[in-house]
Amino acid sequence: MDVFLIIIGFICVLVGVLGSFMPVLPGLPISWAGLLLLHLTSVIPMNYTYLAVWLAIAILILVLDYVIPALGTKKYGGSSYGVWGTTIGLLVGMFLPPFGFIIGPFVGAYIGEMIHQKDSKVASRAAWGSFVGFLTSTFLKFIFSVIYIGLFIAKIIEYWNVIV
């Protein structure tokens, strides 16, 4: 049973990396589930603090994934209309694969700013800000997904003699 949990856990952390690029998959929570499965084995001791800290980080980054594109819009001169447009565009874009999650926030910020100011230059700048925010949040998710894989592998290496 332990080998089965380790294999499924490893699959989860790998799917978590894919989830850092695909917004329909909650990458970090899936990666965390892989860590949880690893700790559910009889060979690796359960560490509640360790799991709680990494769960809190996964949830924080999951929330930031929706906030960062809106902050990018605001930083690049967008108004609240652009921020709302970014958020709505991100939500709508999730249902328009394969590139809707990239284009949605950009188009949403642009439309929101055009509704508010009717200035193409300001709208383009705000839309660019949403795209930069999207890239930032994707990079953040990817980095932490790789960290989760590293944590998983480190635990396997640490307890290798007990597993085999």
What DSSP designation does 26 have? -
pLDDT of residue 82: 81
Predicted confidence at residue 14, as pLDDT, reads 95
Contact 27, 49 (CB under 8 A): no
- pLDDT tens per residue, range 5-61: 999 999 999 999 998 877 677 889 999 999 999 999 999 998 999 999 999 999 999
CB neighbours of residue 101 within 10 Å = 22
pLDDT at residue number 19: 87
Mean of pLDDT values over 62-74: 85
Q: Report which of residues 35 and 163 the model is more confident about.
A: 35
- pLDDT at residue 140 is higher than 90: yes
| Residue entry with tokens 């590293």 | 150
How much helix, strand and coil, in percent to the nearest 5, is found in the chain? 80, 0, 20
pLDDT for position 60: 95
The pLDDT value given to residue 91: 82
Average predicted confidence (pLDDT) for the chain = 88
* Mean predicted confidence (pLDDT) in 133-138: 86
- Residue 153 to residue 164: CA distance in whole angstroms: 15
Q: Are 13 and 31 in contact (CB under 8 A)?
A: yes
* pLDDT at res. 49: 95
Give the model's confidence band at 124: pLDDT under 50 very low, under 70 low, under 90 confident, else very high.
confident
